[in-house]
């Protein structure tokens, strides 16, 4: 990948000046990576990609150019593009966290409370990742929406009760990561989508 100075727009460089040193570096590197991925897909120069990706906002392309979603954790970033609206999440499969506490706080109504202390950590991580992907698809907020989504594992679906929304889920392992992709339709089961990653690079 080319350096950020070659693949960052003037606007992005101005935004970076207002951020802390670490946040500015992450902001410029992630936007440069997105531009590189999209330039390959769109067969154009990275600086000509009409990407709008402001801090704390969902990255956007013009409607006729498809949809992208990003996810990052620790020092990795993943970008996905599709013609339809899409959401992605990535988590380290061996992530250390208190899964029982997380399940009790956020997923109690979706679980068998009698066996909550016997829950498998990987199952909780998968549920968390699935719902994060759904929230990315919707453009919602983790704090507001986490308890509203329900992961229906045996159907590969995620359901929002209040909004009566049902999304298809594609969840898989890649290297040491768990990746969840959410979409309204199930076309990704039969068609390809494009993923760019900075995993282990």
Task: Give the pLDDT band (50/70/90) at residue 9.
Answer: very high
| CATH T-level topology, domain 69-201 | Ribosomal Protein L22; Chain A (3.90.470)
- Separation between Cα atoms, residue 41 and residue 39, nearest integer Å: 5
Is 0.95 topped by the overall pTM?
no
Element (H, E) at 54: none
Checking DSSP bridges between strand 86-92 and strand 76-82, what pairing results, if any?
Answer: unpaired
Per-residue pLDDT reduced to its tens digit, 28-67: 988 998 999 899 888 999 999 999 999 988 899 999 999 9
Residue-level pLDDT at 12: 94
Which part of the chain is CATH 3.90.470? Answer: 69-201
CA contacts within 13 A on the Cβ side of 163: 15
- CB distance 29 to 46 below 8 Å: no
What is the C-alpha separation between 50 and 46, in angstroms, rounded? Answer: 9
Half-sphere exposure of 100 (CA within 13 A, CB side): 7
Residue range 7-25: mean pLDDT, rounded:
93
């Amino acid at each position: 990948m080319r350096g950020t100075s070659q693949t960052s727009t003037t606007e992005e460089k101005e935004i970076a000046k207002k951020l802390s040193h670490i946040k500015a570096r992450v902001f410029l590197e992630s936007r440069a990576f997105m531009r590189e991925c999209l330039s390959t897909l769109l067969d154009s120069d990275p600086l000509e990609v009409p990407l709008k990706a402001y801090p704390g906002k969902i990255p956007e392309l013009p409607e006729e150019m498809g949809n992208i979603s990003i996810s990052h954790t620790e020092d990795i970033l993943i970008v996905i593009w599709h013609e339809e609206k899409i959401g992605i999440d990535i988590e380290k499969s061996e992530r250390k966290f208190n899964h029982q506490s997380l399940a009790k706080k956020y997923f109690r109504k979706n679980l068998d409370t009698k066996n909550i202390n016997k829950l498998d950590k990987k199952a909780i991580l998968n549920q968390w990742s699935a719902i994060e992907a759904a929230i990315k698809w919707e453009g919602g907020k983790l704090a507001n929406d986490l308890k509203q989504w329900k992961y229906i594992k045996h159907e590969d679906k995620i359901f929002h009760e209040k909004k009566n929304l049902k999304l298809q889920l594609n969840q898989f392992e890649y290297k040491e990561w768990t990746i969840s992709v959410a979409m309204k339709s199930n076309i990704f089961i039969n068609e390809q989508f494009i993923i760019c990653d900075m995993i282990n690079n």
